[in-house]
Amino acid sequence: MTEARRRRKKNRVTSLDIAHRAGVSQATVSRVLAGSPLVNPETRRRVEQAVRELNYKVDRHASSLRTQRAGTLALLLFEDPTPDDSHINPFFLSMLGSITRACARHGHDLLVSFQQLSDDWHADYEDSMKADGLILLGYGDYLTYRAKLETLVAQGTHFVRWGQVEPGQPGVSIGCDNHAGGRLAGQHLLACGRRQVAFLGDASSRFPEFQARYQGCDAALREAGLGLSPALQADADSTEEAGFKATRELLARGQPFDAIFAASDLIAIGAIHALKEAGLRVPDDVSVVGFDGTAMARLADPPLTTVVQDTSRAGELLVSTLLQLVRDQPVQSVMLPPTLEIRASSMR
Amino acid sequence: MTEARRRRKKNRVTSLDIAHRAGVSQATVSRVLAGSPLVNPETRRRVEQAVRELNYKVDRHASSLRTQRAGTLALLLFEDPTPDDSHINPFFLSMLGSITRACARHGHDLLVSFQQLSDDWHADYEDSMKADGLILLGYGDYLTYRAKLETLVAQGTHFVRWGQVEPGQPGVSIGCDNHAGGRLAGQHLLACGRRQVAFLGDASSRFPEFQARYQGCDAALREAGLGLSPALQADADSTEEAGFKATRELLARGQPFDAIFAASDLIAIGAIHALKEAGLRVPDDVSVVGFDGTAMARLADPPLTTVVQDTSRAGELLVSTLLQLVRDQPVQSVMLPPTLEIRASSMR
DNA sequence: CTGAAAGCGCTTACAG
DNA sequence: CTGAAAGCGCTTACAG
């Protein structure tokens, strides 16, 4: 055993040590540290001094075992279909950042874990008392997803999910108003004088977020007597490669289009590459609008117009809602309004 | 109290419940779950069945309180000087991903927390038994950093740091061989016929990673009778904005250059924007090489040549080294060899 | 191979 | 305002 480790183990300070040094009982030490008002100010001072002098920290396990609260939330990040380190969707990494910060603000720790949406989730953080509740993050086939959400509800697990908000869903969801976001994109493309808008992304009910974006854009176009055409829709999951391929496929169809609304920024960036490769100019020949508001949208060439999801508010809302749930307070699903950030990729 | 929650609380299954159902003692249940060989196979079967039937999970706090092991590691991610959600360096997010995966492989949970390098770190995860050790991630002024590392060492905290590996450093470090990476960049630019290489990034000892990259590139150039010139070096922290501004500043100096070696991909992407803005072509007029091997390098226009750090191996090594440290096994600092990924930004 | 018992370090009714 | 005592749910010497 190293010297440092021996020191650490031997020196392990407990609340009893603090009690002795401050001349009070263990119970009083606990009260001071819990911020109880039932403590004489002078007593509190002495205890706090002893805590400082001995660098005492409450043992989390002892505390949690007694109170049956972990003071910790767990974030499950689903990463189908790209289990490659470098390919995690930057939007979700941004969400991870804001969730981490929100947890810290609320005085909770955050356990982070990556899961395959298609596999069995290791959602037993609450059963083993490691976390008071779960935050579920990541899109994927909703057919798979929904069944697992129902299992969680049946087990009485506390969880909040990021995703499309729809009536009758199991559990509580926080999500972007994707329909409104699609509408913003459609209206903007109309204002740019575009008439034939292509959509890149799976628009079926298996991907409710993408579907709502599709429908929102479609609705905006319909109000102008237009609409999205199935002939100008191509599936793509949220990667640059998929956006690249889908755009090539679209071009191969020969059906003319003057704008692309991509279901995510990554898809949009892939689309821009494919358009350039085909000798088309962005935005002169084709306007491109993405979705998410990731940092890379600004770095794209040309800079990408994108529907921005408010990740800061999203993280805060996910955490605060989950904590309310844990405390048995009433909660509700919330849709956050997106905004449009207009850049050169769409404006002629 | 909601129905689900009442059920959850009331149903809380303990090892004693399993013991009763399997007709054994609590001690035997514990042995089975710990995989002890001192258990009759038939007894083991009965216990495992009861565990399955009651969906029993060991209470982490009770277990950790008894064993004095948390089964958890904590990741501290420093984010000076950009505490904005969207601006976390994508390289560190990629590292976060690989560390998360490595933790899971090693059967440990991971607590994630963002910290300001300049503030007091909340490095008390080990004091409160929340984690068995720390992984430190993020660059920053090493003057600040080093003092805090020494404090951690003095406290006997178990930690591993990601960063430049140098003799005499406090604690254990895992890092990229930045000097070798700089050398790769320099040799490649020479092979591209470049003679006047500019460097973007702080090359002082306060940023040892950047400094080593500078020196490695300089060494390669010197072998060809050239070298990096201080007149062609401009400070930049690892953001696109900083790279953009540094390049503008460089251009304003009027000193000619035909290549830029940027200390990070973000800086390089900012540089490309500034070069284009100035009417210069990449790579025809100026070759650009970045560092990190982030996903956005591939998406840049033109695609960015970059020195790739192996984040997968890095994450695995950080976690396995930390676990060895926690187990009092001998460990050592390691430098990982980088590779060069050549793309269009450097090749005429 | 198995069980009875102690104890990890807290918090919280309870009593004063 | 304070203290003595119990107990959260495990694991592990110890004894057999």
Domain residue spans of chain A: 3-58, 72-176+311-335, 178-310
How much is the pLDDT for B87? 63
Which of B128, B240, B276, B327 to substitute to test the interface with A, most A CBs within 10 Å?
Answer: B128
Contact (CB<8Å) A86/B7: no
Tell me the CATH class for B3-58: mainly alpha
Q: What are the residues facing A289 on neighbouring strands?
A: A261, A305
Give one word for A272, left, alpha or beta, with left for phi > 0 and alpha for psi -120 to 50: alpha
Q: What ranges make up the beta strands (E) of chain A?
A: 72-78, 109-115, 133-137, 159-162, 172-176, 197-200, 233-234, 259-262, 287-292, 305-308, 334-336, 339-341
Nearest CA in chain B to A98: B85
Three-class SS of residue B30?
helix
- Common-topology check for domains A3-58 and A72-176+311-335: no
Cα angle for residues B324, B326, B328 (degrees, 5° grid): 70
Task: Report the C-alpha gap between B107 and A127 in whole angstroms.
Answer: 17
Contact (CB<8Å) B111/A113: no
Task: Report the C-alpha gap between A168 and B306 in whole angstroms.
Answer: 48
Give me the CA B72–C1' C3 separation in Å, rounded: 31
Map tokens 């926690």 to a residue. B326
Say yes or no: B250 contacts chain A, CB-CB below 8 A. no
Residue of least CA–C1' distance to D6:
A66
Q: Which residues of chain B have pLDDT under 70?
A: 1-11, 80-87
How near does any CA of chain A get to the CA of B59, in Å?
5
Say yes or no: B100 contacts chain A, CB-CB below 8 A. yes
Neighbours of A292 (CB within 10 A): 30
Considering all nucleic acid strands, name the nucleotide whose C1' atom is nearest to the C-alpha of residue B38: C1
Task: Report the C-alpha gap between A94 and A294 in whole angstroms.
Answer: 8
Three-class SS of residue A75?
strand
Report which residue type is found at B30: S
Q: Largest alpha-carbon pair distance within chain B?
A: 86
How much is the pLDDT for A172? 96
Neighbours of B175 (CB within 10 A): 23
Nearest CA in chain A to B293: A86
Say yes or no: A329 contacts chain B, CB-CB below 8 A. no
Give me the CA B200–C1' D5 separation in Å, rounded: 67
How much is the pLDDT for B249? 96
Query: What does chain B come to in residues?
Result: 348
Tokens describing residue B296:
């956005």
Q: What are the residues facing B289 on neighbouring strands?
A: B261, B305
Contacts with A15 (C-beta within 8 Å, 6 or more apart), sequence order: A26, A29, A30, A33, A56, A58
How much is the pLDDT for A5? 44
Cα angle for residues A17, A20, A24 (degrees, 5° grid): 120
How much is the pLDDT for A38? 83
Fold exhibited by the domain A178-310: Rossmann fold (3.40.50)
Task: Report the C-alpha gap between B170 and B172 in whole angstroms.
Answer: 7
Contacts of B242 in chain A (CB under 8 A): none
Contacts with A173 (C-beta within 8 Å, 6 or more apart), sequence order: A160, A161, A162, A163, A164, A165, A166, A333
Fold exhibited by the domain B72-176+311-335: Rossmann fold (3.40.50)
| pLDDT tens, residue order, chain A (348 aa) | 344 444 445 568 999 999 999 999 999 999 999 988 888 899 999 999 999 999 999 999 999 999 999 999 999 998 765 555 556 788 998 899 899 999 999 999 999 998 887 777 878 899 999 999 999 998 888 888 888 999 999 988 999 999 999 999 999 999 999 999 999 999 999 999 999 999 999 999 999 999 999 999 999 999 999 999 999 999 998 988 999 999 999 999 999 999 999 999 999 999 999 999 999 999 999 999 999 999 889 888 899 999 999 999 999 999 999 999 999 999 999 999 999 999 999 987
Nearest CA in chain A to B57: A128
Give me the CA B123–C1' C11 separation in Å, rounded: 25
Three-class SS of residue A174?
strand
**Is B177 in contact with B338 (CB distance < 8 Å)?**
yes
H helices then E strands: how many in chain A? 13, 12
